Amino acid sequence: LPGGKILFEDRTLWDFSSNNYLGLAQHPKVLEAAARSAREGGGSGASRLVSGNSPLYIELEERIAELKRTESALVFSSGYAANLGLFGALIDKEDLILCDRLNHASLIDAARLCGAQLRVYPHLDLERLQHRLKRNAGRRRAWVVSDGVFSMDGDLAPLPDMLEICERYDAILIIDDAHGFGVLGERGGGSLEYWGLSHDSMIVVGTLSKAAGALGGYVAGPRVLTDTLINRARSLIYSTALPPAALGAALCSVQMIPEMKEERKHLGKLSRLLCSRDEDPAIPIVPIMLGESKATLSAASFLREQGYFVAAIRPPTVPKGTARLRISLSAVHPLDAVESLASLCKTLATLPKSDQ
Ligand SMILES: Cc1ncc(COP(=O)(O)O)c(C=O)c1O
């Protein structure tokens, strides 16, 4: 619903569960663009490589490349499909993939499916990452894979340090910036803009389903990379193109994102308020760690009674013993709603356990 709300069992609650960080999913301009594009058809009819491609795709890719400051971008039907397509096209069983333990499931699945040797390193443990790369030196082609902003914890991967390590050991860095795009950086370009890094140094994947409030995934980088993917990424080649409405919505959002500085500022204010800290950057994902699943379900149900819809995240989505409420902030949330949520969160530890 507009204004950061959600309809749940006939009640309208504050929605603190969606990844609609800038409120673009319900923005009137985005809705209008989607409706206009929908007149071209409910679906696209075929894969992009057959007859499903359209000028909307081309313009969307140009706008993403412009925002990311890359030579080109390639749009897939989702972020999940982008990861599957990218890994399958570039990586094979002779290669080594080093994956952060808390990476998103789509990265883990993509790594498993491409058949490479997969090694998982403890969350953000760059010593261990370095150690593994050193042991591998010269044996296999190595890829280091990480979320840019971790989806369940809201912390940042230290990209400059990771890049330095990758360069030292001749590994290629792949960053999934699903939660940084639109939110981080002055223009909302994402993690690389925030860290002041160039896209030439790594491969970046992202999604249009979170801050951009639409649907679709992308890989941004040099033309040689996107050309290779057009010819080799199976999730692109063998899947029907996105419907015009989704492309129209995504295009409108991507055009709006660079200008949404005030929204990013407000989001930062909300995040700092909820976390009671002054640090930058302010990320819209705030986990409230409760440990056990029962306590987390009980806390989520208590918050719903108070008018707040917050997701209870439990294993296997997160490691055992780290069940949590995952609060997702949006620029459309008013300050007082977040103030009330912050004070409710302070009482959560004292709640009785639910028997669900
Ligand atoms: C880090 C990360 N990568 C990829 C995805 C998948 O994106 P999509 O929902 O567009 O398939 C998500 C979303 O859940 C995510 O959090």
pLDDT tens string 75-128: 999 999 999 999 999 999 999 999 999 999 999 999 999 999 999 999 999 999
Q: How confident is the model at residue 350 (pLDDT cuts 50, 70, 90)?
A: low
Range with the lowest mean pLDDT among 95-104, 200-209, 340-349? 340-349
CB 130 less than 6 A from any atom of ligand 1: no
Cα of 79 from ligand 1 centre, angstroms: 5
Range with the lowest mean pLDDT among 27-31, 328-332, 350-354? 350-354
Q: Is the pLDDT of residue 294 over 70?
A: yes
For the chain, give the percent of residues with pLDDT over 70.
Answer: 98
Q: How confident is the model at residue 195 (pLDDT cuts 50, 70, 90)?
A: very high
- Nearest atom, ligand 1, residue 149 CA: 1
For the chain, give the percent of residues with pLDDT over 90.
Answer: 91
Which of 17, 83, 146, 151 is the best mutation target for the ligand 1 pocket, counting ligand atoms within 8 Å of the beta carbon and taking the most?
A: 151
Q: Is the pLDDT of residue 276 over 70?
A: yes
CB 178 less than 6 A from any atom of ligand 1: yes
Mean pLDDT, range 267-296, rounded to an integer: 88
- Nearest atom, ligand 1, residue 216 CA: 10
Q: Is the pLDDT of residue 354 over 60?
A: no
- Nearest atom, ligand 1, residue 215 CA: 10
Cα of 80 from ligand 1 centre, angstroms: 6
- Nearest atom, ligand 1, residue 106 CA: 4
Cα of 207 from ligand 1 centre, angstroms: 6
Mean pLDDT, range 323-334, rounded to an integer: 96
Q: Is the pLDDT of residue 356 over 50?
A: no
Q: Rounded to two decimals, what is the model's pTM?
A: 0.94
Range with the lowest mean pLDDT among 152-156, 217-221, 301-305, 348-352? 348-352
Q: How confident is the model at residue 282 (pLDDT cuts 50, 70, 90)?
A: confident
Residue of minimum CA distance from atom 8 in ligand 1: 79
Q: Is the pLDDT of residue 227 over 70?
A: yes
Q: Is the pLDDT of residue 261 over 90?
A: yes
Residue of minimum CA distance from atom 16 in ligand 1: 151
Task: List pLDDT tens digits, range 33-72.
Answer: 999 999 999 999 999 999 999 999 999 999 999 999 999 9
Comparison of pLDDT for 248 and 353, the residue scoring more = 248
- pLDDT at res. 300: 95
Cα of 316 from ligand 1 centre, angstroms: 16
Which of 17, 106, 253, 313 is the best mutation target for the ligand 1 pocket, counting ligand atoms within 8 Å of the beta carbon and taking the most?
A: 106
- pLDDT at res. 355: 41
Residue of minimum CA distance from atom 7 in ligand 1: 79
Cα of 137 from ligand 1 centre, angstroms: 31
CB 151 less than 6 A from any atom of ligand 1: yes
Instruction: Supply the mean pLDDT for the chain.
Output: 95
Cα of 280 from ligand 1 centre, angstroms: 24
SS (H, E, C) the chain: CHHHEEEECCEEEEECCCCCCCCHHHCHHHHHHHHHHHCCCCCCCCEHHHHHCCHHHHHHHHHHHHHHCCCEEEEECCHHHHHHHHHHHHCCCCCEEEEECCCCHHHHHHHHHCCCEEEEECCCCHHHHHHHHHHHCCCCCEEEEEECECCCCCCECCHHHHHHHHHHCCEEEEEECCCCCCCCCCCCCCHHHHHCCCHHHCEEEEECCCCCCCCCEEEEECHHHHHHHHHHCHHHHCCECCCHHHHHHHHHHHHHHHHCHHHHHHHHHHHHHHHCCCCCCCCCEEEEEEECHHHHHHHHHHHHHCCEECEEECCCCCCCCCEEEEEECCCCCCHHHHHHHHHHHHCHHHCCCCCC
The catalytic site residues sit at 151, 179, 210
